[in-house]
Chain A
Amino acid sequence: MLVPGSAEGRLLRLRAPISLWGGVDPRSGAIIDPRHPDYRTSITGMVLAMPGGVGSSSSSAIMLELLREGTAPAAVIMECADAILALGVLVSIELGHPACPVLEVELTALDGFSEGALLTITSEGRVLRS
């Protein structure tokens, strides 16, 4: 686990990598990049699964905003470790705001779950159906 913690939420698999900066509105939690296949989808409260983060390093600042605003995902699952997103969560913890677990997991490990399935992330980093 990149950032430990437990969480529950519905699975949202992004169909393309996303840069939170310029890609997600921290006030609404919605994907605002019109070129992204999941345009207009909300990431708030979801178990967000994606290959990895891309784009601007300002994405850590957007992760912090999402956590402060209560619009963050319940958990983030990534195939490749991404210090940028995790850093936003670490700063949120330092400032006394909410955190969300960030996990590094092969996305094929999620193949058994249907889109929107309610998942539990355990504090040991296991992903289970709720």
Chain B
Amino acid sequence: MTLNLTTEDQGLLSGSDGEATALAMRILVSAAELLGAQSLVQITSAHIDGCLYHGDGGVEFAEKLVASGGQVAVPTTLNVGALDLLHPGSVRADQSKISMAKRQMDAYVSMGAQPTFTCAPYQIGHEPGVGEQVAWGESNAIAFANSVLGARTERYGDFLDACCALTGRAPLHGLHIAKNREAKVVVDVTAVPDALTNRDVFYPVLGTWLGLEIGREIPLIVGLPPTVTRDQLKALGASAASTGAVALFHVLGVTPEAPTLDAVISKDRPVRRITLEPEMVRRALGRLTTADAAEQIDAIAVGSPHFSIAEFEALLKLVRGRCMVIPFYVCTARDTLRELEMRGDLHVLHKAGVEIVADTCVVVTPILPEGGSVLMTNSGKFAHYGPSNTGYDVVYGSLEDCVESAVTGSVVRTEGIWSW
């Protein structure tokens, strides 16, 4: 299979749009060949995950693009960096690391990307429409863009995300192509009681199980209520993309590509069917807690993916007039923070003891208290990455459980809802 380039593609490659675009185009073309793409596709937006510092190479790459005149060719948002630029001093790192992490974030901003620094760009107005071709990085954002928005992206990561943004193109392969977006597995959750499917706490557990069960296949979930919220779908996708490589899931009657079974299931291909059993749910729930639940907790963190306004509204109801005795971190986007400030809600949170983390999150950079050992969270993604990235063991619970635990100082978990 050979890659066919248009005259315009060829022009970019030979420097018609400057050296940075030519460099990005060389990498994009090599990647497209590796991926077996036959052509490139024009994209309408990008979300770059590459501004998180992993080492000096990432800074060198971004600054080389800047130095050779790099500018994004399409509207582009940025994922989290390694620093909270709004609360300097909250990240524990030596000065040289902090300076390199800052340079990496700055480099992408100077290429014209918006300084959003959020893993949930879809919550701050970056919402491509159904069928729109985009190039997004960050596993939860990819799952949300494909599944909930119906836009089309493959799983882009460091370097390639930037190359797509600078050239305005992506390799035409995988989920960019309609026929590759059909469901291969039907997951039937009809038997799960409403008492669970109506609660936020169910969705990270469902996602955790889903990712482990199906890996990188595309599922169609049948039997979720039509009232399922965007935050619940966000939590489902983020967890499934942590334990598996789920980049697209359909929910019958809910997500835009799945109004009917026939719309997402190919008639000529056999489809695997799985019915969700209580035991599967309990096993996934168990996996989200690594600490002995009776243990003392040292910190609580929510907001992975970044907290939405709706989630803040729920939190405000729970904490108003109360006082937390355990450090309670909420990770969110600076844009969401600004909206909270405008609504006058921020002081209520501060008064209750909530610490806001913006531009980054507690699992990608050292923010959690030093010497602590147990973290409680309502996030499946924090529960998955917490132990390896922070050294903390984790306890999983609902947002209500997290707040009650923070107020009383010891673990509170609502267990009864999990038996059916």
Which of chain A's residues have a CB closer than 8 A to the CB of B36?
81
| A22 and B389 contact, CB distance less than 8 A | yes
Q: A91-B27, A95-B61 are in contact. Are A83 and B159 (CB under 8 A)?
A: no
Q: A22-B389, A57-B137, A88-B159 are in contact. Are A62 and B34 (CB under 8 A)?
A: no
| A94 and B158 contact, CB distance less than 8 A | no
B161 nearest in chain A by CB position = A57
Give chain A nearest CB distance to B385 CB in angstroms: 8
Q: Which of B16-63 contact A (CB under 8 A)?
A: 23, 26-27, 30-31, 34-36, 49-50, 52, 54-58, 60-61
Which of chain B's residues have a CB closer than 8 A to the CB of A26?
54-55
Query: Is A31 an interface residue, CB under 8 A from the partner?
Result: no
Query: Is B64 an interface residue, CB under 8 A from the partner?
Result: yes
| A95 and B57 contact, CB distance less than 8 A | yes
Which of chain A's residues have a CB closer than 8 A to the CB of B52?
58
Give 1 or 0 for each of B2-28: 1 = CB within 8 Å of chain A CB: 000000000000000000000100110
A60 to B155, CA, bound (A): 13
Query: Is B157 an interface residue, CB under 8 A from the partner?
Result: yes
| B64 and A87 contact, CB distance less than 8 A | no
Which of chain A's residues have a CB closer than 8 A to the CB of B64?
94-95
Query: Which A residues are within 8 Å of any B CB, using their own CB?
Result: 2, 21-22, 26, 33, 54, 56-62, 64-65, 67-68, 81, 83-84, 86-88, 90-92, 94-95, 97
Q: A21-B54, A68-B56, A94-B27 are in contact. Are A60 and B389 (CB under 8 A)?
A: no
Give chain B nearest CB distance to A91 CB in angstroms: 5
| B54 and A61 contact, CB distance less than 8 A | yes
A127 to B160, CA, bound (A): 29
| A68 and B34 contact, CB distance less than 8 A | no
A98 to B386, CA, bound (A): 33
Would you call the interface of chain A mostly helix, strand, loop, or mixed?
Answer: helix
| A61 and B158 contact, CB distance less than 8 A | yes
Query: Is B156 an interface residue, CB under 8 A from the partner?
Result: yes
Q: A57-B49, A91-B27 are in contact. Are A84 and B60 (CB under 8 A)?
A: no
Pick the most buried of B50, B60, B137: most chain A CB atoms within 10 A of its CB: B60
Can you list 8 contacts pairing A with B, beta carbon distance less than 8 Å? A57-B139, A57-B157, A58-B49, A58-B54, A68-B57, A83-B160, A86-B30, A90-B27
Number of A-B contacts (CB under 8 A): 88
| A61 and B156 contact, CB distance less than 8 A | no
| A60 and B61 contact, CB distance less than 8 A | no
Which of chain A's residues have a CB closer than 8 A to the CB of B389?
22
Interface size on B, residues (CB 8 A): 30
| B61 and A64 contact, CB distance less than 8 A | yes
Q: Which of B238-275 contact A (CB under 8 A)?
A: 245
Query: Is B388 an interface residue, CB under 8 A from the partner?
Result: yes
Which of chain B's residues have a CB closer than 8 A to the CB of A90?
27, 30-31
| B157 and A95 contact, CB distance less than 8 A | no
A88 to B57, CA, bound (A): 10
Known: A83-B35, A87-B159, A87-B160. 14 other contacts (CB 8 A): A21-B54, A22-B389, A56-B139, A56-B157, A57-B137, A60-B160, A61-B159, A68-B57, A83-B31, A86-B30, A87-B34, A91-B27, A94-B27, A95-B57
Pick the most buried of A22, A58, A88, A95: most chain B CB atoms within 10 A of its CB: A58
| A57 and B34 contact, CB distance less than 8 A | no
| A2 and B34 contact, CB distance less than 8 A | yes
B23 nearest in chain A by CB position = A94
| B61 and A57 contact, CB distance less than 8 A | no
Give 1 or 0 for each of B141-176: 1 = CB within 8 Å of chain A CB: 000000000000001111110000000000000000
Which of chain A's residues have a CB closer than 8 A to the CB of B57?
61, 64-65, 67-68, 91-92, 95, 97
A100 to B245, CA, bound (A): 26
| A83 and B27 contact, CB distance less than 8 A | no
Give chain B nearest CB distance to A39 CB in angstroms: 13
| B31 and A22 contact, CB distance less than 8 A | no
| A95 and B60 contact, CB distance less than 8 A | yes
Q: A90-B27, A91-B61, A95-B64 are in contact. Are A61 and B35 (CB under 8 A)?
A: no
A57 nearest in chain B by CB position = B157
| A94 and B26 contact, CB distance less than 8 A | yes
Top 7 A-B residue pairs of the complex, sorted by shortest distance between their CB atoms: A57-B157, A65-B55, A64-B57, A61-B158, A61-B54, A83-B34, A60-B158
Which of chain B's residues have a CB closer than 8 A to the CB of A58?
49, 52, 54, 157-158
